[in-house]
């Protein structure tokens, strides 16, 4: 269930089958155009998005802010050292 205060409030949830296992997936609503201030950060060898959120925002659960600013990155579990990402200003 997606709560009314969630950033996914206007999204839908669908059931997909992966490796014969049914999983629920959030399908975000149509993206709305917006602007934000950011800095570039170059990924190091052991960086993880939750650790970056802790370092920049003081809260690892804020990783989604970095994810939203970098929609071209689909798999945050396999960041390549040297990749430049945007870190939105806190």
Are 42 and 76 in a shared domain? yes
Provide mean pLDDT across the span 67-90: 90
Residue 1 — very low, low, confident or very high, per pLDDT cuts 50/70/90? low
Asked if 54 and 76 sit in the same domain, the reply is: yes
Number of domains in the chain: 2
Closest CA to 60 of 74, 42, 47, 44: 47
pLDDT at 85 over 90: yes
Same domain, 63 and 82: yes
pTM of the model: 0.66
pLDDT tens-digit map of 39-53: 999 999 899 999 999
Q: What is the pLDDT of residues 23-76, one digit of tens each?
A: 888 887 777 777 889 999 999 989 999 999 999 999 999 998 999 899 888 888
- What are 42's strand-pairing partners? 84
Cβ proximity of 50 and 62 under 8 Å: no
């Amino acid at each position: 269930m997606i709560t009314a205060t969630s950033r996914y409030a206007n999204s839908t949830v669908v059931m997909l089958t992966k490796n014969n296992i049914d999983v629920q997936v959030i399908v975000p609503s149509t993206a709305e155009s917006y602007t934000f201030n950011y800095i570039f950060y170059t990924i190091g060898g052991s960086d993880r998005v939750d650790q970056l959120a802790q370092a920049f925002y003081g809260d690892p659960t804020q990783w989604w802010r970095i994810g939203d600013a970098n929609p071209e990155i689909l798999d945050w579990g396999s960041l390549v050292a040297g990749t430049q990402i945007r870190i939105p200003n806190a």
